[in-house]
A and B are shown apart, each in its own frame.
Chain A
Amino acid sequence: MTATTDPARDRAWLRPATWRNLFRDRPLLPLSMLLVLLVISVELARPGTVSANWAAFTVRQAAVLAILGACQTLTMLTGGIDLSVGYVASMAGFVTATFVHQPGGWVLGIAVALGAAALAGLINGIGSGIFRVHPLIMTLGMGLIVLGFSNVWQLQNVQTGSGVPAELRWLGTGLSFDVIPNDLLVFVPVTVLLIVLLKRTGYGRMLYAVGDNPVAARLSGVRSWQVVVVLYVISALLAAVAGLVQSGLSNTASVTLVTPYMLPSVAAAVIGGTSILGGRGGYSGTIVGALILTVLAGFLSIILPEPWRQIVFGSIVVLVAAAYTRVTAES
């Protein structure tokens, strides 16, 4: 950044270092350009695809991925990761669906689902914050446990039957004014809250501090275990919200509904410029990352059969990550 403001070098913008600094400090710019390029490619591949409806559809899909990406962004800022989100999210959607025909209805269902998710997050937090178990393992193990309990719950509720509540379907698939997807009602407040949390609150600063240098954070008086415990509860609650939206969107409730989104959610955060090593990144990048991945998946499904889609998807994620690492290298 310093180079651009230096009057002595008026041709500074020609030098690669300037661009590198720009990309490092404002990752949203190149990401948005990539997104626009992708949208143009979609239109070129099949003219007439890009429309208000298409945009609404894409945003609807991307919102779920972006909320799950939030879980990864927050945990990755502290140097962690949350691989239980897929199972927690599926569990939330499924549990809510089983309450539809019960006294108490879907409201009670959502309450139970959020409670269960918070509990799972609490255990994740205690494990990685207090006992210092590696978050990757902790959350993977917790994912197994949640999946196991969901399966048990499924067998218990085979007779009572289940169904996605109409309210969630409205949230997931409905359009206001014919263009605005209703799930933005959930997504926009979540986004605003998260960005304010990260940029304007002490807790957000502490997340960066713990991830950047745990020892320095501790010495400056941060109780990092408390930060981490709260963090994983937040992450699990966000996952549950994503699961509720997704079950409404797909009008299905299954114990593995959201698991295919788990690895892409990590990819969204990484593409968005959040470092898995902690201390660097933000949520706005993750949102663009989720949009890119959603448009990309749609684009690939137009031009390629499933196996090639996976191959290209994986290759692009590693390429973008490599470009980032190169650009942000300290040397």
Chain B
Amino acid sequence: MTTNMTTLGRRRPALAEVTRRLARNNVWTLGLLGFLVVLLAFTKLVNSYYSLDSLASTATSVLPLALAAVAQAIAVISGGIDLSISSQMALTSCVAATMMASYPGDGTAVAIVIGVLLLGLVLGAINGALVVVTKVPDIIVTLSTYFVWAGFALLVRPAPGGAAAPWLKDLVIGSLGIDVLPKAAVLLVVIVAVIWIPLSRSRLGLSLYAIGSNRLAAFRSGVPVNRTKFLSYAITGLVAAVAGLSLTASTGIGTPVPEPTYVLISIGAVVLGGVSMAGGVGGVFGPVVAVVVLQLIRDDMTFMHVDPNFGLVAQGFILIGVLMAGSFVQMRRSRS
């Protein structure tokens, strides 16, 4: 909760203090990161063939979902929820794949990427405008636009197909340098850093947390509540478009049908990553780590020759278990 409040301070604190404060404020994310390391070691243990190459392919396959979780985190932090992220991804991915198939060439591909990002911004802005203008609960608005975007995706591409520019594929598949760093992981960190760090340190970022944690208090402190809400959905749409592009890049095609588990897992990862569903609490790094953890657990179960469907069951139970434990701890704390 206090992560962002600290940016209000004018005094420049010592490095040691900053580190301590960062650690204290990100206990949950750091714990999750620790768990991820243990999980990676465990993966190596159950599957001795798991190499840096496999790590790269894990990173590639998890990239779209991780970006979806980032998008969802931004919506949830500002007190909303976006059920339409997966169909925004389908639509932007289909537009990108179709355009890139029709107009090949590296230069045009850059223009297409920029156009698709703008499209994402517009889709998100429509969600935001509907929420602000109609005053219908976010969940109903985004539920409805889920259908609308999915319909448009089907209009763009009646069947899966299209193409991705070679450089776009090259961005997410494989490893960097001497096969140490998976490109997708580096890209993910870069994208999140470019979008999130300036945002969370800006006035807008602070306003997002403010309207998420207490709308009325934010309004009375002079935060333009409606404009902030609108912008939060626009940014969510932008990140969803990045996720859609990564989907095109990693699969090489556009698929018009939204992946049904994306909504679910993005919300689950957001909560698992330390963002409160009530809004105003958390960041985007936790959810990203949570997505990787959820994916690795499923992969590990496959390596251990467990029926992959039990992986789904395990993901569900982990999600519910963590949530119950989390809210139980919170209840105990608020009672004492």
Contacts of B327 in A (CB 8 A): 131-133
Q: Are A277 and B137 in contact (CB-based, < 8 A)?
A: yes
- The 8 Å CB contact of B271, one of A137, A143, A152, A277, is A137
Contacts of A310 in B (CB 8 A): 147-148, 150-151, 154
Q: Are A144 and B312 in contact (CB-based, < 8 A)?
A: yes
Residue pairs across A and B with Cβ atoms less than 8 A apart, 9 shown, are A131-B323, A151-B309, A152-B313, A259-B260, A276-B137, A306-B154, A311-B147, A318-B144, A322-B135
Q: Does B315 contact A (CB under 8 A)?
A: yes
Q: Are B323 and A314 in contact (CB-based, < 8 A)?
A: no
Interface residues of A in 117-154 (CB under 8 A from B): 123, 127, 131-134, 136-138, 140-145, 147-149, 151-152
Q: Are B150 and A133 in contact (CB-based, < 8 A)?
A: no
Interface residues of B in 119-154 (CB under 8 A from A): 130, 133-137, 139-141, 143-148, 150-154
Known: A132-B327, A318-B130, A322-B136. A142 touches B144 (CB 8 A): no
Q: Are B324 and A133 in contact (CB-based, < 8 A)?
A: yes
Q: Are A151 and B312 in contact (CB-based, < 8 A)?
A: yes
Known: A137-B277, A140-B264. A315 touches B309 (CB 8 A): no
**Bound Cα distance A228, B102 (Å):** 54
Q: Does A270 contact B (CB under 8 A)?
A: yes
Number of A residues with CB within 8 Å of any CB on chain B: 47
3 smallest CB-CB distances across A and B, nearest first, come from A314-B147, A310-B151, A148-B312
**Bound Cα distance A133, B325 (Å):** 9
Q: Are B317 and A145 in contact (CB-based, < 8 A)?
A: yes
Q: Which of A131, A152, A314 gathers the greatest number of chain B CB atoms within 10 Å?
A: A314
Q: Chain B interface secondary structure, helix, strand, loop or mixed?
A: helix
Q: Does A155 contact B (CB under 8 A)?
A: yes
Q: A136-B139, A314-B148 are known; give 6 further A-B pairs, CB within 8 A.
A: A127-B320, A127-B324, A141-B316, A142-B316, A310-B148, A311-B151
Q: Does A321 contact B (CB under 8 A)?
A: yes
Q: Are A147 and B324 in contact (CB-based, < 8 A)?
A: no
Interface residues of B in 290-328 (CB under 8 A from A): 307, 309-317, 319-320, 323-324, 327-328
Contacts of A280 in B (CB 8 A): none
Contacts of A259 in B (CB 8 A): 260
User: Residues of A with Cβ closer than 8 Å to B?
Assistant: 81, 123, 127, 131-134, 136-138, 140-145, 147-149, 151-152, 155, 259, 263, 266-267, 270, 276-277, 306-315, 317-318, 321-322, 324-326, 329
Q: Are A141 and B268 in contact (CB-based, < 8 A)?
A: yes
User: Which residue on chain B has the smallest CB distance to residue A84?
Assistant: B316
**Bound Cα distance A175, B213 (Å):** 55
Q: Chain A interface secondary structure, helix, strand, loop or mixed?
A: helix
User: Which residue on chain B has the smallest CB distance to residue A306?
Assistant: B154
Q: Does B261 contact A (CB under 8 A)?
A: yes
Q: Are B267 and A329 in contact (CB-based, < 8 A)?
A: no
- The 8 Å CB contact of B328, one of A131, A307, A315, A321, is A131
A-B contacts, CB under 8 A, total: 150
**Bound Cα distance A123, B307 (Å):** 23
Known: A137-B277, A144-B312. A314 touches B154 (CB 8 A): no
Q: Are B134 and A322 in contact (CB-based, < 8 A)?
A: yes
Known: A131-B323, A263-B146, A321-B140. A147 touches B312 (CB 8 A): yes
Q: Does B194 contact A (CB under 8 A)?
A: no
**Bound Cα distance A310, B328 (Å):** 40
Q: Are A276 and B139 in contact (CB-based, < 8 A)?
A: yes
Contacts of A138 in B (CB 8 A): 320, 323
Known: A267-B143, A276-B140, A277-B137. A131 touches B309 (CB 8 A): no
Interface residues of B in 80-108 (CB under 8 A from A): 81
Contacts of A263 in B (CB 8 A): 143, 146-147
- The 8 Å CB contact of B319, one of A137, A149, A329, is A137
Contacts of A81 in B (CB 8 A): 139
**Bound Cα distance A127, B140 (Å):** 23
- The 8 Å CB contact of B324, one of A131, A140, A312, A315, is A131
Q: Which of A123, A133, A152, A326 gathers the greatest number of chain B CB atoms within 10 Å?
A: A133
Interface bits B1-40 vs A (CB < 8 Å: 1, else 0): 0000000000000000000000000000000000000000
Q: Does B155 contact A (CB under 8 A)?
A: yes
Q: Does B178 contact A (CB under 8 A)?
A: no
Q: Are B268 and A148 in contact (CB-based, < 8 A)?
A: no
Contacts of B317 in A (CB 8 A): 141, 145
Contacts of A133 in B (CB 8 A): 320, 323-324, 327
**Bound Cα distance A143, B265 (Å):** 12
Contacts of B319 in A (CB 8 A): 137, 141, 144
User: Which residue on chain A has the smallest CB distance to residue B138?
Assistant: A276
Q: Does B331 contact A (CB under 8 A)?
A: yes
Q: Are A314 and B137 in contact (CB-based, < 8 A)?
A: no
Q: Are A321 and B136 in contact (CB-based, < 8 A)?
A: yes
**Bound Cα distance A188, B130 (Å):** 37
Known: A308-B151, A314-B148. A325 touches B134 (CB 8 A): yes
- The 8 Å CB contact of A155, one of B145, B151, B307, B331, is B307
